[in-house]
């Protein structure tokens, strides 16, 4: 898509979505918005989650902030050690930080859960996954996601070397 193809308006009903997930627990349809309307430093994506599923693992960004706007459906928002019921019209905060700010959205209803994920796109980025004790470091992503990053490392916290190791 070239700059001349960009339009500053898109309706979520007109978005092309693609399947995303892993195993039985993670399943969603994603519809990128930010780049489509010409945004460079702010990301936005429509996420549609089937009943009983979640789109992403419990995680926290060390550099970027996220905000979610529930468009339709019901679910729960796991944030740190708390769980909050969510429904259409709710706005959810996911500031950068440590495990106490980790977050995850799960569809607990009987219809699809639709929400917008809006985020900054600063890089390099570190994303921590407290449930699995791993992290991802990435840079040069085409869309703000570690999946499309040219440079990416996924590791476990306990495998870290000492600063002076090998010196």
Residue 58 in any domain: the answer is yes
Total domain count, the chain: 1
Residue 132 in any domain: the answer is no
User: How far apart, in Å, do the first and last CA atoms of the chain sit?
Assistant: 48
Residue 147 in any domain: the answer is no
Residue 75 in any domain: the answer is yes
Q: Which domain holds residue 42?
A: 3-123
Alpha carbon distance 63, 96 (integer Å): 6
Residue 31, domain CATH: 2.60.120.10
Residue 128 in any domain: the answer is no
Residue-wise pLDDT tens for the chain (167 aa)? 566 678 999 999 999 999 999 999 999 999 999 999 999 999 999 999 999 999 999 999 999 999 999 999 999 999 999 999 999 999 999 999 999 999 999 999 999 999 999 999 999 999 999 999 999 999 998 887 888 899 999 999 888 888 888 89
Residue 148 in any domain: the answer is no
Residue 146 in any domain: the answer is no
Alpha carbon distance 17, 51 (integer Å): 17
Beta strands in the chain (DSSP E): 18-22, 26-32, 42-49, 60-61, 66-72, 74-79, 82-87, 91-94, 103-106, 113-120, 125-129, 134-139, 151-156
Residue 14 in any domain: the answer is yes
pTM of the model: 0.92
Contacts from 26-29 at CB under 8 Å and sequence distance 24+? 26/53, 26/54, 26/55, 26/56, 26/57, 27/53, 27/55, 28/53, 28/54, 28/55, 28/56
Model confidence pLDDT, tens digit, residues 120-151: 999 999 999 999 999 999 999 888 788 889 99
pLDDT given at position 142: 82
């Amino acid at each position: 898509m070239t700059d001349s193809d960009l339009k500053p308006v898109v309706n979520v009903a007109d978005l092309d979505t693609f399947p995303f997930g892993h195993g039985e627990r993670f399943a969603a349809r994603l519809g990128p918005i930010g780049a489509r309307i010409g945004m460079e430093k702010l990301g936005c994506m429509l996420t549609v989650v089937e009943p009983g599923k979640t789109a992403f693992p419990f995680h926290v960004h060390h550099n970027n902030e996220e905000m979610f706007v529930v468009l339709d459906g019901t679910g729960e928002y796991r944030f740190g050690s708390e769980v909050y019921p969510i429904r259409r019209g709710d706005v959810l905060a996911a500031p950068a930080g440590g495990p106490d700010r980790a977050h995850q959205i799960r569809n607990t209803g009987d219809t699809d859960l639709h929400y917008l994920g809006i985020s900054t796109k600063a890089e390099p980025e570190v994303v921590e996954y407290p449930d699995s004790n791993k992290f991802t470091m990435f840079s040069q992503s085409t869309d703000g996601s570690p999946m499309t990053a040219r440079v990416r490392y996924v590791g476990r916290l306990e495998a870290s070397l000492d600063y002076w190791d090998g010196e």
